[in-house]
Amino acid sequence: MPIPRHVIELEAEIAYVEHGLRMARGLALGRAWRAKFLSFGASRDKTGSPTMTATIPAAHALVLGEVTERLGLPQQALFERAGLDPEALGQPGARLPLATAEALIGTARQLTREPGLGVYLGLQMRVSSHGYVGFAAMTASDIGSALEVACRFAPTQTDALALSLEVCGGEASLYLDERAALGTARDVIVLALMIGLRQIGEALTGQSLAGEADVAFEAPDYYDRFAPFARGTVRFAQPRHRLRFDARLLRVPLMLRDPVAQRMATEQCERELELLAQGELIHRARSGLTRGGSGGYRTIEEVARHLGLSSRTLKRRLAERGTSFSTLLDERRCADALRWLADPELSLEQIAGRLGYSEAANFTRAFRRWTGQSPLARRRANRRA
């Protein structure tokens, strides 16, 4: 009896990642991999320590290269134009700064003349592209366990996006939340991940998975070309990105479930989380910057109180890590500004008010200092994309 193709592909992937696990035995080597993981994706401060900037796995850039190759653009031409080294992108744990990823996607769109690259990327996505998290998920017992792994360890893969699973009655929802401004690459990244998650789920179970998708942005102009091939309803302009499906699917077993291999991969993911905790103070300070429902941003005194510290101690600890409260606040404001500029319904005056500026001119000066361009220029770029 012939072996199904998807089983052969999965066996090849599991062999590949098992080899990686054998190579990465021990915490010492795990830490060395983590150093590479940070050094490729983060800038460095004056002390040589990495600063925390939003990144995605560099492996996805290689998948993009495979997509452009199929569309007639050689990978080498794409990476040369973008100034990227494919060998560096292929290093275990390498990360790509979000701004670099956005520029790469823009270059790929321009050279291939294909705006809908996110659909192709999603269809091309492989579980091995997600490193140890992917390996831990593919060897889990069922879909529910695999999604729990993905949600729990997603921070080891990216700080630009977060996953969460909610079950209400007979319906399960896998939410995808943006933790950083994705800029002009937003539709590509979000659609690629949502389509890719379904592709991976079907590959791991060997069966078609029914469900629906909600997307938070308006339908891109190019989507009409792909709509006839969509399986299940796709609704745009929704409150949050999410995949909705029958909760009974959570109990569907995975073909490659393996408790021993799953434990090995999970232990490696745990080590990655421990190493991420080194930047926990900065992360918690960033998380405490916004006031939530009341809007606006907290002062340093309010954030310090939120963290159980004095403002003086918070200043000192941030300085020890090569940053400052004003830097973190500027980063948050810049990310929010980029996100809001993508909404044509918001005027510059409204955005300035949300950011805490009394006048649009003050916002314009700050935005130019953050990005090197005016808010209007950025909005025009969003429209062209």
- CATH 1.10.10.60 spans which residues of the chain? 288-384
Asked if 14 and 257 count as a contact pair (C-beta separation under 8 A), the reply is: no
pLDDT of residue 94: 85
For 256-273, give one letter per residue: b (16+ CB within 10 A) or e: bbbeebbebbbebbbbbe
Q: Which DSSP letter does residue 295 get?
A: -
What confidence score (pLDDT) does residue 35 get? 33
**Fold classification of 288-384 (topology level):** Arc Repressor Mutant, subunit A (1.10.10)
Query: Sign of the C-alpha dihedral, residues 35, 20, 14, 269?
Result: negative
Write down the pLDDT at residue 30: 35
CA distances from 361 to 123, 357, 358, 369, 374 (A): 44, 9, 9, 13, 10
Q: Distance between CA 367 and CA 374 in Å, rounded? A: 6
pLDDT, tens digit (0-9, with 9 covering 90-100), for 143-199: 999 999 999 999 889 989 999 999 999 999 999 999 999 999 999 999 999 999 999
Residue closest to 265 by CA, chosen among 24, 11, 12? 24
Strand-pair category, 212-214 with 234-235:
parallel
Query: pTM score, two decimals?
Result: 0.64
Q: Give the C-alpha distances (Å, rounded to integers) separating 35 from 17, 40, 43, 106.
A: 19, 9, 13, 29
Work out the angle at residue 35's Cα, subtended by the Cα atoms of residues 317 and 272, and round it to the nearest 5 degrees. 80
Each residue's pLDDT, cut to its tens digit, for the chain (385 residues) gives 443 444 434 444 444 444 444 433 333 333 333 333 333 333 333 323 333 468 899 999 999 999 999 999 999 999 999 989 999 898 877 889 999 999 999 999 999 999 999 999 999 998 888 889 999 999 999 999 999 999 999 988 998 999 999 999 999 999 999 999 999 999 999 999 999 999 999 999 999 999 999 999 999 999 999 998 888 899 999 999 999 999 999 999 999 999 999 999 999 999 888 767 656 788 788 888 887 655 689 999 999 988 888 999 899 888 887 889 999 999 989 988 998 998 889 999 999 999 999 899 999 999 999 988 999 988 888 887 6
In this prediction, residue 385 carries a pLDDT of 65
